[in-house]
Chain A
Amino acid sequence: MTTVAGADLVAGTRAGEELACARLMSLAERGDPAYAKYHEQFFSDLGTARRVGITGPPGAGKSTLVEALTLHWRSQDHTLGIVAVDPTSPFSGGALLGDRVRMSRLALDKGVFIRSMATRGVFGGLARATDDVVDVLDLFGRDTILVETVGVGQSEVDIARSADLTVVVLHPGGGDTIQAMKAGLMEVADVYLVNKADMPGLDRLVQQLTDILDIREMPLELRPPILTSTATSGEGIVELAATLDRLHAERAANGVLKQRRQENLERRVRRLVDGTLRHDIWTTVGLADSLSRSVRDDELHSAHALAAKILETYRQRRHTESE
């Protein structure tokens, strides 16, 4: 992608052109270095969009929930961007992205832009990519951006944390609380939503959540609200939207939002730096290959010794290059 074409994409995105926005997202997603340059130019226009993370174990009805929330906010004339993240197969590197098909009522509404993303493997930098894709939707001019992830891995938890507000979605009968705790989801929630409230086991799950908050000895005023919903019928959606609206407004007023965004920015920069460094070391000529050969050369090796050797080589190379 030439610089000229890239600049066109930025201009097009600002101007509200869907295809330009989509192609800029692709650029951002794959970590094209050109994108970073553009970002440095347009970042000051960002930050107006409100970012809401929707995460939770599979089967909780997140896509249906996202659709319902979107329809509600659309009725209030908000524009939305939706990013739906689904796992890449570790075996094939491919992915079946089936979230947007569950949001068919949003089709042909120019006020909704839906993008499906695959997790693309550990070194793909999922959180980095998602942050960048969300920025593009912000530049595109969306009022609210919903990011839907399956909350099972560290990356997905990271994504949830980078939102302004995070909703953790559970459902009765799914054995979810244990899974959610294991994934570290419970800590990132600003709102707990128990969806599929028409299923048996609702009260027990709500009680479990309350107990967990008790155990953590959270002061009542800081506790994330526990809401219920039945996304398929629309029940509970108005309350959820109102809660999110209220929380966002409060945090914008009392400085919490600012603080959170600062923390997120710091985390994000660290991620970028870490990612680049990681990439640098392993693509430094020969280092990855020499490691691969060393471990297979029929001799015993110390992991620490090998690591030290690689770092030493890397530092020396950087030193020579800078001279």
Chain B
Amino acid sequence: MDQPIRVLIAKPGLDGHDRGAKVVAAALRDAGMEVIYGGLHQTPEVIVEMAVQEDADAVGLSVLSGAHMHLFPRVVELLKEAGAEHVLVTGGGIIAPEDMEELSGLGVGRLFGPGATLKELEEYIREEVGRRRTAARS
């Protein structure tokens, strides 16, 4: 059996609005993934620790506070330091398109703003994790 996709869903920083994070967590479970719910008010350090211990394929972060330009790159940086660059960093929130572009250049995966569907997110994670797993094997 191919290993199920393991996704850590968490909210970094001080923002507590978790409607999106919870809806995404439930949807990914319904799509057959193993979702580790990392909770609210987490620091990037804790999020990376969770991702490492859980051997997560992907980390989904939800940020509505405007602090995304600090939080996303910090998680990417810490994952790299931990030797876990293969982990996909994705997520969503209130993030302007030009910021999404800039974050993409910093190693963050695709981000999903308001209006994105759960289906798009699920498909993206599946495809991208699959791609990374294949690359790791070769």
Contact = CB atoms under 8 A, between A and B. Distances in A.
**A–B direct touch in complex (beta carbons closer than 8 A):** yes
B39 A114 contact: no
A200 interface: no
A110 to B, nearest CB: 9
Contacts of B36: 97, 100, 116
A22 B52 contact: yes
Nearest to B2: A30
A100 B9 CA distance: 12
B103 interface: no
Interface size class of B (residues with CB under 8 A): 20 to 34
A13 B96 CA distance: 42
Interface stretch (B42-50, B65-73, B106-114): B42-50
Contacts of A26: 3, 55
A93 B26 contact: no
A93 B4 contact: yes
Contacts, number: 80
A95 B30 contact: no
A108 B28 contact: no
Given A30-B1, A98-B37, A104-B39, A92 B32 contact: yes
B46 A124 contact: no
A33 to B, nearest CB: 13
B128 interface: no
B33 A94 contact: yes
B54 to A, nearest CB: 6
Contacts of A251: none
Interface size class of A (residues with CB under 8 A): 20 to 34
Contacts of B33: 94
Contacts of A274: none
Nearest to A25: B55
B49 A92 contact: no
A22 B1 contact: no
A322 B85 CA distance: 46
10 contacts: A19-B83, A22-B52, A22-B54, A26-B55, A89-B30, A93-B32, A95-B34, A108-B46, A116-B36, A116-B54
Given A94-B33, A95-B34, 16 more contacts: A2-B137, A25-B55, A30-B3, A88-B34, A92-B32, A94-B35, A96-B26, A96-B35, A96-B37, A100-B38, A101-B37, A104-B39, A107-B46, A108-B46, A113-B53, A114-B53
